[in-house]
Structure 1
């Protein structure tokens, strides 16, 4: 049996648990990368995101008690299951897709080990109306009759908040059967059968009318069924609600009450049926003779012990529970007539017909269709309304839901007028109804509909008129009035429409370091400081701050702040979020941003306790932050989204809160995520009612679609998008065709090629120097759109102390050729035996063009071969971080307006972002000296010296300074950007114009 020592690591009795945790996670990453290589697979972005999710989700003991090889295999299986399900769904979206992988393994401890079975279940669920619980998995496992018991481990992964769910759990052998291996194929087949039967289907809301008018109308309908003193009671049974313990039905019952008869509830309570009978109302509806009355009763019956009516999947069997109501009535009253019993069967058939007409909506938004269907009144029309009218009415509602600028639609079908209305204001809907739908002398109202979905309320009517001319006159008057009323009283909301080119956002600000994730998190979260409309750093969550005399201790006083769920936000939430990033077991690539804080780096490396870190909440309103040395850029650094707070209560209870759109997703920024975005939109943002500065916001919301670049360009042409390109997309050459809409934005971007100084032959400085001198930068950037400038330093244009005039021999191919041959001599190799250089780059059009230019120039000048390797972002970053490259393309962005931000990356070779694996003692001395130098002029001289060392060691091939270019409609006002070119979309506004 394997020892518990991690691969490549020695057991160290003095190692801290945090250090062991880091080693275990690093070992998992390496194993996963090796697995991908062995299977000729790509370490792409989706696998990187799955890796990040599982490393963040698994508890610490999970890593210490299972082998890295097994965990890596588990993560790979999870990723493969997601891909398989996505493919199966694309082939047949109507079928239920399940897949199940089981792997025997060991769960270890210092003194023993235990045989277990690791199980990964992949399943397609309707996220809004279906679920699988831990209890359901446990029951399915028990029904397999394999003598297995479920262990404590249970995790759920819902990638992209889609219909695909991945469950990981573990099963152990029961004591008496530990020596008997399980028949895995049989177990797999049996479990899949059992778990499918335990998918919990939530009961759809049945929007039955309960107002007095509806009750009386139904009682009068039943009254007409009583024609003699011998007639049996007539009954309408309506579902009301249910909870974990009981189901409630409302009963409308009309009977002949003879002299001396007991009241209905007394008769029911005397029966053998032991249910709860709730008092209601009794109406006198007429009489036959003296002492014989026609009596109407309205009351509730609550069925106890809900488990009697639950299916295997825990959903309610509505027909079975309704049948029980009839049995209760018959037990107490004798024979009764179920007036709407047959109608419910027809109603179910009609709903199935409707679902067949709209398969995509049924699959993606089943509640939308069901809410509509059950809202139809009178209730019998749900079973009898012609399907064509159903279809047109629903299509109008669906179209209305998708529209952001329209609040009504009308259509004529089968000589009937169909009207649909939408509003977020119930009073507005009632006002419209009072104005136009109360005078039934003009028409006959066939049906009405009132329901809600997401943030919207809907009303609809189907009206019948004597003549077509009356219908047309009425429609014209309605259109005229509703349009005028909307212009005067219902201003159109300012909604910004943008498109997301990327696969997914990281909604957890602690790990969201890509440009698009930073942009979205600045909309959802707010830090102590923020960049304002003028591009300057201002206080945001902080009301004020005090700075110590040595300029190393900041005491922040917070405003009155709240989370989007109304819960108070305190200084503890800041301390919790920041220290979570600095805990060794927390996976993030961006912890280095916090290393300015006292003991932050030491805590991340497991060398000191988090209690020693210079972050402390003194009380709910005061946060104290200690930094290692004075830093004039510290307040600007705090404006980055990574320094956002996180709701500590939610994060402790649900570490995966950022992957869902439920009540656990709470934020504190200008906007919040809508739980139910409209069809077509990937995400929708709405104003956060608890944001401290909400009165200054101009936008009411942001709608984010996710279509391919060609479709997005068409949408922009058609006026369906207001903004196209960075930060949520990639700039395209086609943008240049839009003169009036094209915007060019200065940024801090600089394009590099990193040299791996530990990789042969780039370990030789002469070879690197040759590559530095041979590149014709001006020629290279000719094919790249934008006003790009050649770069000779790794620092952004705003921060560099050098210009091309310092290097009169730059772009000198003769010198490059000379350096190259000097390097060959030092290495002891010939030009012919020189191995091809591999150039890797993120797989997109711009990087390919740049890399192709570099390849051609190297081959033409030096006479050696190069190969181009374009990979997805996830694989690219992994290969750069692990040193599996020779030359790697990079687009660097400074997040702070200070040269030291970029220079510090190269200080230590073990820094995660130091891809070149280079360090230099003299360079380190200068960086340390600059950090403590208070005289700004002297500090600039020191940083200039450090930059020169970096350039003269040729660890980075700087190419050019880049710009962002994007499309926006002329009516859109953008704020001034920060000095680094960052745009805060929450500050955007539309020019003054009417929004009808």
Structure 2
């Protein structure tokens, strides 16, 4: 999932719960209302689960909606489904029995709500960038290509409480995908009533999850999430209210935490350095990679691999983390982050195994960078390049861009101009190809390398820079088809794909985030998932 530029600890293929150290509390849990106050780096872009791509909106949807499953720390648990389902028909049919649950307007949640939502999400008219996740479900590929109607998707409501999914082929990670908002149900009556307004404000949605979104007008810098009394598991929702405030400046975040107005503050730079000595400090390691995307369609010279490799090698990732982020982030040796998956045969970490053959392409080497840059300019018959670096308008984003500008301009005949824009504008410009270079980030949707590597197949909607490799495409496709039920061969195919992406620098991986937080110690049982999302069910204030 796309990550805000200011954006758990994941071991092997899972994440563990946050462990919160003892410290002075901030929230007034002695009052009748148990409230948690947290921050985000920017605004919610949408609450339409079919079109959401960013982590901020994704967190709001996870707070207010339930799909078939939900992560509780490292464990996948039933949510709308009564149980974790094992497929039948050689791994191609999933039959979900649904709970008796209600929407926040009192309507029952039915199997038809899933059928409607899934068909709407895959419909090309909806323009869902996550439609590709449906690939593997019967007829999905033909629907995405416009060859078949969305009504032919392999889903059906057997009855009000039985939802059946038929796959074209087995998908070993199918169950873990169900936590992604694009697979959440939708109330057809509400969607059709609201029309284009659906998902644009808290008055134009309904919830079936732990909380109900309040006081969000579509652009506001603050919103509230109030306990949903109609939630099927309401007895285990201990918080009455979550207040969320957009804070782009880390010094403001620290001041609000210290004054008792914020319970969870995410910090970077000098504030992160200062916070490390505080009792409330947490280092939240995430399955999230920040990377630089280069627009090969807009700037044809960037099709040259040597120019891309030179840009990568001129970045001193460790110095960047130490000088700009000042947190526990990790220099990225590849796009798939550390701790996401282990070799089914040897138990070795995917990231580290891939880096054995490609580490030189992400290692700082100023001399080699200049050599490759000169060769690349000559091969493309280019005398000089002037490129715009697009990023968000937060404090850390601006400082990141300035560092990269300085590093890149060490290369001869290269000029970098920085363009800082609001988060939603950066997303739109990225999606429309209106950039030369753009700083982006991706967080795991589920604990499998495919959630990262799928993005840069030639026709993926997230491949904004239009890098392409026929060999890479085939490896990704083979991992989903030919090797879908052979864990070792599938692993080898994905490993080779990662190596190609890194060697070619189809995108330039920069760092894996381990963000510094200051957290009120009164919160207990707050968990963090492999999909980089908090789960506030069961969390309580001591």
Identify the TM-score tier after normalising by the shorter chain: 0.7 to 0.9
Instruction: Determine if contact 1:405/1:492 at 8 Å carries over to the other structure.
Output: no
**Cα RMSD (Å):** 2.8
Residue correspondence of structure 1 range 57-456 to structure 2 within 5 A: none
Match of 1:922 among 471, 477, 487: 471
What's the offset of the Cα at 1:757? 2.6
Match of 1:826 among 379, 384, 392: 379
| Deviations 1:590-648 (CA, angstroms, capped at 9, x unpaired) | 32232342222432342211121112111101111123332222111101222211111
Instruction: Determine if contact 2:121/2:182 at 8 Å carries over to the other structure.
Output: no
| Deviations 1:937-985 (CA, angstroms, capped at 9, x unpaired) | 2211111111112222221111221123322212112434223543223
Answering whether residue 355 of structure 2 is matched by residue 803 of structure 1, we say yes
Residue correspondence of structure 1 range 894-933 to structure 2 within 5 A: 894-908=444-458, 910-932=459-481, 933=483
Secondary structure, aligned partner of 2:225: strand
Residue correspondence of structure 1 range 10-29 to structure 2 within 5 A: none
Instruction: Determine if contact 2:454/2:460 at 8 Å carries over to the other structure.
Output: no
What's the offset of the Cα at 1:537? 1.0
For 2:208, the equivalent position in structure 1 comes to 668
Match of 1:892 among 432, 442, 447: 442
Q: Partners in 1 of 2:397 and 2:201 — Cα distance? A: 33
Match of 1:576 among 110, 116, 137: 116
Comparing 702-711 and 599-608, the one that deviates more: 702-711
Match of 1:859 among 394, 403, 409: 409
What's the offset of the Cα at 1:499? 4.1
For 2:105, the equivalent position in structure 1 comes to 565
Secondary structure, aligned partner of 1:986: coil
Q: Residue 614 and residue 731 in structure 1: after superposition, are their counterparts in 2 closer, same or farther (change >3 A)?
A: farther
Q: Residue 685 and residue 781 in structure 1: after superposition, are their counterparts in 2 closer, same or farther (change >3 A)?
A: closer
TM-score (norm 2): 0.83
What's the offset of the Cα at 1:897? 0.8
What's the offset of the Cα at 1:720? 2.8
Q: Partners in 1 of 2:396 and 2:268 — Cα distance? A: 9
Q: Residue 866 and residue 722 in structure 1: after superposition, are their counterparts in 2 closer, same or farther (change >3 A)?
A: closer
Q: Partners in 2 of 1:584 and 1:513 — Cα distance? A: 16
Q: Partners in 1 of 2:55 and 2:201 — Cα distance? A: 21
| Deviations 1:660-716 (CA, angstroms, capped at 9, x unpaired) | 555x64211011245799xx9943332222211111122122233567756654442
What's the offset of the Cα at 1:913? 0.3
Instruction: Determine if contact 1:681/1:703 at 8 Å carries over to the other structure.
Output: no
For 2:385, the equivalent position in structure 1 comes to 835
For 1:938, the equivalent position in structure 2 comes to 489
| Deviations 1:125-148 (CA, angstroms, capped at 9, x unpaired) | xxxxxxxxxxxxxxxxxxxxxxxx
Answering whether residue 87 of structure 2 is matched by residue 547 of structure 1, we say yes
Q: Partners in 2 of 1:405 and 1:757 — Cα distance? A: 53
Match of 2:523 among 972, 976, 986: 972
Answering whether residue 188 of structure 2 is matched by residue 648 of structure 1, we say yes
Q: Partners in 2 of 1:510 and 1:942 — Cα distance? A: 30
Secondary structure, aligned partner of 1:862: coil
What's the offset of the Cα at 1:718? 2.4
Match of 1:878 among 425, 428, 431: 428
For 1:742, the equivalent position in structure 2 comes to 281
Q: Residue 843 and residue 652 in structure 1: after superposition, are their counterparts in 2 closer, same or farther (change >3 A)?
A: same
Instruction: Determine if contact 1:546/1:556 at 8 Å carries over to the other structure.
Output: no
Structure with a larger share of its residues in helix = 1
Secondary structure, aligned partner of 2:244: strand
Q: Partners in 2 of 1:733 and 1:595 — Cα distance? A: 44
Q: Partners in 2 of 1:658 and 1:669 — Cα distance? A: 15
Q: Residue 582 and residue 807 in structure 1: after superposition, are their counterparts in 2 closer, same or farther (change >3 A)?
A: closer
Q: Residue 618 and residue 871 in structure 1: after superposition, are their counterparts in 2 closer, same or farther (change >3 A)?
A: same
Q: Partners in 2 of 1:540 and 1:734 — Cα distance? A: 38
Q: Partners in 2 of 1:514 and 1:764 — Cα distance? A: 30
For 1:496, the equivalent position in structure 2 comes to 36
| Deviations 1:106-125 (CA, angstroms, capped at 9, x unpaired) | xxxxxxxxxxxxxxxxxxxx
Answering whether residue 293 of structure 2 is matched by residue 765 of structure 1, we say no
Residue correspondence of structure 1 range 455-470 to structure 2 within 5 A: none
Q: Partners in 2 of 1:541 and 1:494 — Cα distance? A: 26
Q: Partners in 1 of 2:522 and 2:91 — Cα distance? A: 44
Q: Partners in 1 of 2:406 and 2:246 — Cα distance? A: 36
Instruction: Determine if contact 1:839/1:851 at 8 Å carries over to the other structure.
Output: yes
Q: Residue 711 and residue 868 in structure 1: after superposition, are their counterparts in 2 closer, same or farther (change >3 A)?
A: closer
What's the offset of the Cα at 1:513? 2.5
What's the offset of the Cα at 1:772? 2.6
| Deviations 1:452-492 (CA, angstroms, capped at 9, x unpaired) | xxxxxxxxxxxxxxxxxxxxxxxxxxxxxxxxxxx9xxx72
Q: Partners in 2 of 1:824 and 1:708 — Cα distance? A: 38
For 1:751, the equivalent position in structure 2 comes to 290
Secondary structure, aligned partner of 1:559: coil
Q: Residue 849 and residue 618 in structure 1: after superposition, are their counterparts in 2 closer, same or farther (change >3 A)?
A: same
For 2:11, the equivalent position in structure 1 comes to none
For 2:12, the equivalent position in structure 1 comes to none
| Deviations 1:20-58 (CA, angstroms, capped at 9, x unpaired) | xxxxxxxxxxxxxxxxxxxxxxxxx9xxxxxxxxxxxxx
Q: Partners in 2 of 1:847 and 1:671 — Cα distance? A: 31
Secondary structure, aligned partner of 2:50: coil
For 1:585, the equivalent position in structure 2 comes to 125
Instruction: Determine if contact 2:445/2:532 at 8 Å carries over to the other structure.
Output: no
Q: Please, which runs of 5 or more residues in structure 2 have no aligned partner?
A: 5-26, 341-349
Match of 1:844 among 385, 394, 417: 394
Instruction: Determine if contact 2:445/2:530 at 8 Å carries over to the other structure.
Output: no
Secondary structure, aligned partner of 1:836: strand
For 2:172, the equivalent position in structure 1 comes to 632
Q: Residue 843 and residue 711 in structure 1: after superposition, are their counterparts in 2 closer, same or farther (change >3 A)?
A: closer
Q: Residue 731 and residue 588 in structure 1: after superposition, are their counterparts in 2 closer, same or farther (change >3 A)?
A: farther
Instruction: Determine if contact 2:272/2:326 at 8 Å carries over to the other structure.
Output: no
Q: Residue 929 and residue 501 in structure 1: after superposition, are their counterparts in 2 closer, same or farther (change >3 A)?
A: closer
Q: Please, which runs of 5 or more residues in structure 1 have no aligned partner?
A: 1-44, 46-403, 407-486, 992-996
Match of 2:161 among 607, 621, 626: 621
What's the offset of the Cα at 1:863? 5.0
What's the offset of the Cα at 1:578? 1.4
Match of 1:599 among 122, 128, 139: 139
For 1:524, the equivalent position in structure 2 comes to 64
Secondary structure, aligned partner of 1:542: coil
- The count of corresponding residues between Structure 1 and Structure 2 is 494
Q: Partners in 1 of 2:467 and 2:87 — Cα distance? A: 36
Instruction: Determine if contact 1:792/1:804 at 8 Å carries over to the other structure.
Output: no
Instruction: Determine if contact 2:42/2:247 at 8 Å carries over to the other structure.
Output: no
Instruction: Determine if contact 2:95/2:163 at 8 Å carries over to the other structure.
Output: yes
Instruction: Determine if contact 1:723/1:967 at 8 Å carries over to the other structure.
Output: yes
Secondary structure, aligned partner of 1:911: coil
For 1:990, the equivalent position in structure 2 comes to 541
Comparing 559-568 and 877-886, the one that deviates more: 877-886
For 2:333, the equivalent position in structure 1 comes to 792
Q: Residue 768 and residue 705 in structure 1: after superposition, are their counterparts in 2 closer, same or farther (change >3 A)?
A: closer
Match of 1:781 among 321, 344, 349: 321
Answering whether residue 498 of structure 2 is matched by residue 947 of structure 1, we say yes
| Deviations 1:564-605 (CA, angstroms, capped at 9, x unpaired) | 222211000111111111222224333223234222243234
Q: Residue 756 and residue 945 in structure 1: after superposition, are their counterparts in 2 closer, same or farther (change >3 A)?
A: same
Q: Partners in 1 of 2:99 and 2:410 — Cα distance? A: 62
| Deviations 1:207-257 (CA, angstroms, capped at 9, x unpaired) | xxxxxxxxxxxxxxxxxxxxxxxxxxxxxxxxxxxxxxxxxxxxxxxxxxx
For 2:13, the equivalent position in structure 1 comes to none
Q: Partners in 2 of 1:598 and 1:889 — Cα distance? A: 35
What's the offset of the Cα at 1:515? 1.4
